[in-house]
């Protein structure tokens, strides 16, 4: 299938309007969240021996960013699928994100984690899915799914709102953990990558 390039220049006003739309959707989504679910996530993070993040595609990029910030806090953090990721065990935490809750590799990671007695937190748009069946806790982000093309929840393409909100949620969680830890910014900075 050949794609015809029929794009036209986007005006500054259109870009501003798009940004306003995205921010409006995020403000709407904030009001839909059960923050008790996030409180549970924070408690599980605090008591976990090791924290494993798991997601695919753009959600994976957002979760990698979250893993990096948690590492800056001094937590033992891994991203599932990297070659240096160890075995998950009882006492560890898997945080698995999938908008649909059906992504095969994410569901398998949750199933394996549950089978060894690790805690599994699913982050999804769905309350019932293959992923939630293996989860100890659930954080619902009621954004549009990737193939929900006619959604009233988001005018953005595919799962953009979910993926963006993952990054924002974990930055908010990180901010709270950082402040409660009493660590100075300079202390976190010493853990920042220096082989860039």
Q: Which residues contact 27 (CB under 8 A, 6 or more apart)?
A: none
Task: Output the CA angle 171-74-106, nearest 5 degrees.
Answer: 60
Catalytic residue from among 163, 186, 187, 196: 163
Q: Between β-strands 93-97 and 77-79, what pairing exists: parallel, antiparallel or unpaired?
A: unpaired
- 163 has catalytic annotation: yes
Residue 145, token pair as written in the block: 């799914």
- Does residue 77 sit in helix, strand or coil? strand
Question: What is the Cα–Cα distance from 85 to 54, expressed in whole angstroms?
Answer: 11
Residue 151, token pair as written in the block: 């959604």
Residue 91, token pair as written in the block: 């006492």
So which residues are the catalytic ones?
163
């Amino acid at each position: 299938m050949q794609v015809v390039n029929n794009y036209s220049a986007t005006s500054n006003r259109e870009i501003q309007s798009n940004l306003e739309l995205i921010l409006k959707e995020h403000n709407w989504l904030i009001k839909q969240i059960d923050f008790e679910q996030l409180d549970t996530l924070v408690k599980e993070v605090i008591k976990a021996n090791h924290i494993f993040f798991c997601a695919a595609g753009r959600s994976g990029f957002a979760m990698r960013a979250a893993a990096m910030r948690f590492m800056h806090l001094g937590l033992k953090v891994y991203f599932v699928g990297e070659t240096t990721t160890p075995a998950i065990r009882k006492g560890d935490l898997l945080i698995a994100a999938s908008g649909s809750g059906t992504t095969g590799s994410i569901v398998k990671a949750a199933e394996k984690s549950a089978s060894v007695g690790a805690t599994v937190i699913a982050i999804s748009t769905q309350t019932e899915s293959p992923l939630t069946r293996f989860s100890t806790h659930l954080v619902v982000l009621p954004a549009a799914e990737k193939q929900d093309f006619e959604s009233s929840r988001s005018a953005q393409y595919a799962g953009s709102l979910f993926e963006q909100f993952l990054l924002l949620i974990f930055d908010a969680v990180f901010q709270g953990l950082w402040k409660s830890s009493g660590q100075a910014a300079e202390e976190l900075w010493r853990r920042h990558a220096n082989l860039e």
